[in-house]
Amino acid sequence: MDDQFYKSDVYNIIYRAFDMHYTSWIKVPINDSQVGVLGLYRSKKQADFSSGDRNQITSLIAYLSHAYQAKPNQATEYGNTASQGMLIMNPEGRLIYQCPEAKRLIQLADTPRTLIDRRQNNRLLENLKKLADDLVSIHRGKESAIPAFDRVNPYGAFSFKGYWLNNLDSDSNNMIGVTVKYREPIELKLLRAVRNFPLSPTQKEVAMLLAKGISFEQIGRKLHIKQNTVKDHAGKIYLKLNIRQRGDLLPLLLSVNSVH
Protein backbone atom coordinates (compact mmCIF):
# COMPACT_ATOMS: atom_id res chain seq x y z
CA MET A 1 0.00 0.00 0.00
CA ASP A 2 1.18 3.52 -0.75
CA ASP A 3 1.30 6.50 1.61
CA GLN A 4 -2.04 7.81 0.33
CA PHE A 5 -3.82 4.70 1.60
CA TYR A 6 -2.46 5.21 5.12
CA LYS A 7 -3.71 8.81 5.05
CA SER A 8 -7.19 7.82 3.88
CA ASP A 9 -10.34 7.67 6.01
CA VAL A 10 -10.77 4.01 5.08
CA TYR A 11 -7.48 3.14 6.75
CA ASN A 12 -7.72 5.46 9.75
CA ILE A 13 -11.38 4.83 10.58
CA ILE A 14 -11.69 1.13 9.73
CA TYR A 15 -8.40 -0.67 9.16
CA ARG A 16 -6.45 1.07 11.90
CA ALA A 17 -9.15 0.35 14.48
CA PHE A 18 -8.61 -3.38 13.91
CA ASP A 19 -4.81 -3.09 13.60
CA MET A 20 -4.96 -4.17 9.95
CA HIS A 21 -1.83 -2.40 8.71
CA TYR A 22 -0.47 -4.67 5.99
CA THR A 23 -2.86 -6.05 3.41
CA SER A 24 -2.84 -8.62 0.66
CA TRP A 25 -5.76 -8.56 -1.76
CA ILE A 26 -6.10 -11.20 -4.45
CA LYS A 27 -8.94 -11.22 -6.97
CA VAL A 28 -10.98 -14.44 -7.17
CA PRO A 29 -12.12 -15.02 -10.79
CA ILE A 30 -14.68 -17.52 -12.05
CA ASN A 31 -14.90 -17.98 -15.83
CA ASP A 32 -13.07 -14.69 -16.42
CA SER A 33 -15.41 -12.77 -14.09
CA GLN A 34 -14.28 -11.43 -10.74
CA VAL A 35 -16.59 -12.79 -8.04
CA GLY A 36 -14.76 -11.55 -4.97
CA VAL A 37 -11.52 -10.69 -3.28
CA LEU A 38 -9.47 -12.77 -0.86
CA GLY A 39 -8.16 -10.33 1.74
CA LEU A 40 -5.53 -11.11 4.38
CA TYR A 41 -4.22 -8.65 6.95
CA ARG A 42 -1.32 -8.26 9.38
CA SER A 43 -0.78 -5.82 12.22
CA LYS A 44 1.84 -3.09 12.21
CA LYS A 45 3.96 -5.17 14.60
CA GLN A 46 4.21 -7.98 12.06
CA ALA A 47 6.19 -8.16 8.85
CA ASP A 48 4.61 -7.08 5.58
CA PHE A 49 3.53 -9.76 3.12
CA SER A 50 6.52 -10.91 1.09
CA SER A 51 6.45 -11.95 -2.56
CA GLY A 52 6.66 -15.55 -1.35
CA ASP A 53 3.62 -15.01 0.88
CA ARG A 54 1.67 -13.55 -2.02
CA ASN A 55 2.62 -16.46 -4.28
CA GLN A 56 1.33 -18.90 -1.66
CA ILE A 57 -1.90 -16.92 -1.33
CA THR A 58 -2.30 -16.85 -5.11
CA SER A 59 -1.94 -20.64 -5.20
CA LEU A 60 -5.16 -20.88 -3.14
CA ILE A 61 -7.26 -19.19 -5.81
CA ALA A 62 -7.68 -22.35 -7.90
CA TYR A 63 -9.08 -24.17 -4.86
CA LEU A 64 -11.45 -21.30 -4.04
CA SER A 65 -12.68 -21.23 -7.63
CA HIS A 66 -13.26 -24.99 -7.58
CA ALA A 67 -15.10 -24.80 -4.24
CA TYR A 68 -17.34 -22.03 -5.54
CA GLN A 69 -18.34 -24.01 -8.62
CA ALA A 70 -18.60 -27.43 -6.96
CA LYS A 71 -22.10 -28.88 -6.77
CA PRO A 72 -23.29 -30.45 -3.49
CA ASN A 73 -23.33 -34.23 -3.42
CA GLN A 74 -26.89 -34.26 -2.12
CA ALA A 75 -29.84 -31.95 -1.69
CA THR A 76 -29.71 -29.57 1.26
CA GLU A 77 -31.59 -30.88 4.28
CA TYR A 78 -33.30 -28.31 6.50
CA GLY A 79 -34.37 -28.45 10.13
CA ASN A 80 -38.03 -28.91 11.02
CA THR A 81 -38.26 -25.85 13.24
CA ALA A 82 -38.55 -22.39 11.71
CA SER A 83 -37.58 -18.99 13.04
CA GLN A 84 -40.13 -16.26 12.27
CA GLY A 85 -40.31 -12.49 12.09
CA MET A 86 -42.75 -9.77 11.05
CA LEU A 87 -42.42 -6.72 8.80
CA ILE A 88 -44.87 -3.86 8.31
CA MET A 89 -44.78 -1.87 5.06
CA ASN A 90 -46.91 0.88 3.59
CA PRO A 91 -48.78 0.19 0.31
CA GLU A 92 -45.89 1.77 -1.62
CA GLY A 93 -43.59 -0.97 -0.33
CA ARG A 94 -41.60 1.16 2.10
CA LEU A 95 -40.56 -0.62 5.27
CA ILE A 96 -42.17 0.99 8.34
CA TYR A 97 -41.68 -1.47 11.20
CA GLN A 98 -39.75 -4.67 11.76
CA CYS A 99 -39.23 -6.86 14.79
CA PRO A 100 -35.61 -7.67 15.77
CA GLU A 101 -35.87 -11.22 14.42
CA ALA A 102 -37.17 -9.99 11.06
CA LYS A 103 -34.24 -7.58 10.80
CA ARG A 104 -31.80 -10.43 11.41
CA LEU A 105 -33.51 -12.69 8.89
CA ILE A 106 -33.54 -10.00 6.20
CA GLN A 107 -29.81 -9.49 6.66
CA LEU A 108 -29.23 -13.24 6.28
CA ALA A 109 -31.56 -13.55 3.30
CA ASP A 110 -29.94 -10.63 1.47
CA THR A 111 -26.34 -11.74 2.00
CA PRO A 112 -24.75 -12.93 -1.29
CA ARG A 113 -21.95 -15.47 -1.52
CA THR A 114 -19.89 -13.23 -3.79
CA LEU A 115 -19.85 -9.83 -5.47
CA ILE A 116 -21.14 -11.30 -8.73
CA ASP A 117 -24.13 -12.77 -6.89
CA ARG A 118 -24.91 -9.30 -5.57
CA ARG A 119 -24.82 -7.86 -9.09
CA GLN A 120 -26.87 -10.59 -10.76
CA ASN A 121 -29.57 -11.34 -8.20
CA ASN A 122 -32.62 -9.20 -7.59
CA ARG A 123 -32.30 -7.33 -4.37
CA LEU A 124 -34.56 -8.43 -1.56
CA LEU A 125 -36.15 -5.00 -1.15
CA GLU A 126 -37.17 -5.08 -4.81
CA ASN A 127 -38.95 -8.38 -4.20
CA LEU A 128 -40.73 -6.91 -1.19
CA LYS A 129 -41.79 -3.91 -3.28
CA LYS A 130 -43.32 -6.23 -5.88
CA LEU A 131 -45.11 -8.13 -3.12
CA ALA A 132 -46.62 -4.84 -1.93
CA ASP A 133 -47.67 -3.91 -5.48
CA ASP A 134 -49.37 -7.30 -5.90
CA LEU A 135 -51.27 -6.84 -2.64
CA VAL A 136 -52.47 -3.41 -3.72
CA SER A 137 -53.78 -4.93 -6.97
CA ILE A 138 -55.62 -7.65 -5.03
CA HIS A 139 -57.10 -5.02 -2.71
CA ARG A 140 -58.42 -3.19 -5.79
CA GLY A 141 -60.22 -6.30 -7.01
CA LYS A 142 -57.71 -8.42 -8.88
CA GLU A 143 -58.16 -12.12 -8.17
CA SER A 144 -54.90 -13.75 -7.19
CA ALA A 145 -53.32 -15.98 -4.56
CA ILE A 146 -51.72 -14.42 -1.51
CA PRO A 147 -48.41 -13.02 -2.79
CA ALA A 148 -45.33 -14.78 -1.52
CA PHE A 149 -41.80 -15.58 -2.59
CA ASP A 150 -38.96 -17.80 -1.44
CA ARG A 151 -35.26 -17.15 -1.25
CA VAL A 152 -32.50 -19.72 -0.77
CA ASN A 153 -28.83 -19.04 -0.10
CA PRO A 154 -26.03 -20.73 1.88
CA TYR A 155 -27.58 -19.45 5.12
CA GLY A 156 -30.83 -21.34 4.52
CA ALA A 157 -34.35 -21.15 3.10
CA PHE A 158 -36.45 -18.01 3.58
CA SER A 159 -40.19 -17.64 2.89
CA PHE A 160 -41.91 -14.25 2.63
CA LYS A 161 -45.71 -13.94 2.61
CA GLY A 162 -47.72 -10.72 2.44
CA TYR A 163 -51.07 -9.75 3.97
CA TRP A 164 -53.23 -6.67 3.51
CA LEU A 165 -53.95 -4.99 6.86
CA ASN A 166 -57.18 -2.98 7.00
CA ASN A 167 -57.10 0.01 9.29
CA LEU A 168 -59.39 -0.11 12.33
CA ASP A 169 -58.68 3.50 13.22
CA SER A 170 -59.96 6.26 10.95
CA ASP A 171 -56.77 8.21 11.60
CA SER A 172 -54.58 5.36 10.35
CA ASN A 173 -53.68 4.20 6.86
CA ASN A 174 -53.85 0.68 5.51
CA MET A 175 -50.63 -1.26 5.90
CA ILE A 176 -49.07 -4.45 4.63
CA GLY A 177 -47.83 -7.20 6.91
CA VAL A 178 -45.14 -9.62 5.78
CA THR A 179 -44.23 -12.79 7.63
CA VAL A 180 -40.67 -14.06 7.30
CA LYS A 181 -39.95 -17.71 7.99
CA TYR A 182 -36.47 -19.16 8.05
CA ARG A 183 -35.25 -22.75 8.08
CA GLU A 184 -31.59 -23.39 8.77
CA PRO A 185 -29.68 -26.12 6.90
CA ILE A 186 -28.95 -29.01 9.25
CA GLU A 187 -25.31 -28.94 8.11
CA LEU A 188 -24.97 -25.31 9.20
CA LYS A 189 -26.71 -25.98 12.52
CA LEU A 190 -24.32 -28.85 13.22
CA LEU A 191 -21.33 -26.63 12.41
CA ARG A 192 -22.57 -23.95 14.79
CA ALA A 193 -23.10 -26.50 17.54
CA VAL A 194 -19.79 -28.32 17.13
CA ARG A 195 -17.68 -25.16 17.23
CA ASN A 196 -18.69 -24.50 20.85
CA PHE A 197 -17.80 -27.95 22.17
CA PRO A 198 -14.39 -28.71 23.79
CA LEU A 199 -13.18 -30.83 20.89
CA SER A 200 -10.00 -30.72 18.84
CA PRO A 201 -10.31 -29.62 15.18
CA THR A 202 -10.12 -33.24 13.98
CA GLN A 203 -12.64 -34.38 16.59
CA LYS A 204 -15.04 -31.68 15.40
CA GLU A 205 -14.76 -32.99 11.84
CA VAL A 206 -15.30 -36.56 13.05
CA ALA A 207 -18.28 -35.47 15.17
CA MET A 208 -19.90 -33.80 12.16
CA LEU A 209 -19.50 -36.94 10.05
CA LEU A 210 -20.66 -39.25 12.85
CA ALA A 211 -23.78 -37.14 13.34
CA LYS A 212 -24.56 -37.49 9.62
CA GLY A 213 -24.38 -41.28 9.85
CA ILE A 214 -21.12 -41.74 7.95
CA SER A 215 -19.38 -45.05 8.68
CA PHE A 216 -16.00 -45.25 10.44
CA GLU A 217 -14.45 -46.57 7.23
CA GLN A 218 -15.80 -43.69 5.12
CA ILE A 219 -14.74 -41.12 7.74
CA GLY A 220 -11.22 -42.55 7.68
CA ARG A 221 -11.03 -42.27 3.90
CA LYS A 222 -12.45 -38.75 3.90
CA LEU A 223 -10.05 -37.46 6.58
CA HIS A 224 -7.10 -39.62 5.45
CA ILE A 225 -6.74 -41.32 8.82
CA LYS A 226 -6.89 -44.95 9.93
CA GLN A 227 -10.20 -46.51 10.92
CA ASN A 228 -8.84 -47.29 14.40
CA THR A 229 -7.94 -43.61 14.77
CA VAL A 230 -11.51 -42.68 13.86
CA LYS A 231 -12.83 -45.05 16.53
CA ASP A 232 -10.43 -43.55 19.06
CA HIS A 233 -11.66 -40.05 18.22
CA ALA A 234 -15.27 -41.23 18.50
CA GLY A 235 -14.66 -42.62 21.98
CA LYS A 236 -13.08 -39.36 23.12
CA ILE A 237 -15.98 -37.38 21.62
CA TYR A 238 -18.56 -39.46 23.50
CA LEU A 239 -16.59 -39.02 26.73
CA LYS A 240 -16.17 -35.25 26.35
CA LEU A 241 -19.83 -34.71 25.43
CA ASN A 242 -21.08 -37.11 28.11
CA ILE A 243 -22.99 -39.35 25.71
CA ARG A 244 -22.97 -43.13 25.38
CA GLN A 245 -23.23 -43.81 21.67
CA ARG A 246 -23.33 -42.34 18.18
CA GLY A 247 -27.14 -42.19 18.20
CA ASP A 248 -27.01 -39.64 21.02
CA LEU A 249 -24.80 -37.25 19.06
CA LEU A 250 -27.20 -35.85 16.45
CA PRO A 251 -30.00 -35.04 18.97
CA LEU A 252 -27.41 -33.33 21.19
CA LEU A 253 -26.09 -31.15 18.37
CA LEU A 254 -29.57 -30.27 17.11
CA SER A 255 -30.63 -29.25 20.62
CA VAL A 256 -27.97 -26.53 20.78
CA ASN A 257 -29.42 -23.09 20.09
CA SER A 258 -27.75 -21.36 17.15
CA VAL A 259 -26.10 -18.03 17.90
CA HIS A 260 -25.80 -15.83 14.79
Would you state the pLDDT for residue 257? 67
Would you state the pLDDT for residue 177? 95
Would you state the pLDDT for residue 38? 84
Would you state the pLDDT for residue 123? 78
CATH tag, 83-184: 3.30.450.20
Length of the chain equals 260
Ramachandran angles phi, psi of 74, nearest 5°: -150, 165
Would you state the pLDDT for residue 75? 78
Residue 31 contacts residue 57 (beta carbons within 8 Å) = no
pLDDT in tens, 46-104: 999 999 999 998 998 888 888 777 776 677 888 877 799 999 999 999 999 999 999 99
Spans of the chain below 70 pLDDT: 1, 72-73, 112-122, 170-172, 257-260
pTM: 0.69
CA angle 201, 223, 60 (to 5 degrees): 80
Beta-bridge mates of residue 183 = 157
10 Å Cβ neighbour count for 36? 19
Domains 83-184 and 187-255 share a fold: no
Looking at domain 187-255, does it have CATH number 1.10.10.10? Answer: yes
The Cα 257–Cα 193 span in angstroms is: 8
User: Residue ranges of the domains in the chain?
Assistant: 3-69, 83-184, 187-255
Question: What is the residue-averaged pLDDT of the chain?
Answer: 87
The Cα 42–Cα 24 span in angstroms is: 9
Would you state the pLDDT for residue 259? 45
Would you state the pLDDT for residue 94? 92
Would you state the pLDDT for residue 17? 87
Nearest to 88 by CA among 131, 145, 54, 24: 131
The Cα 124–Cα 135 span in angstroms is: 17
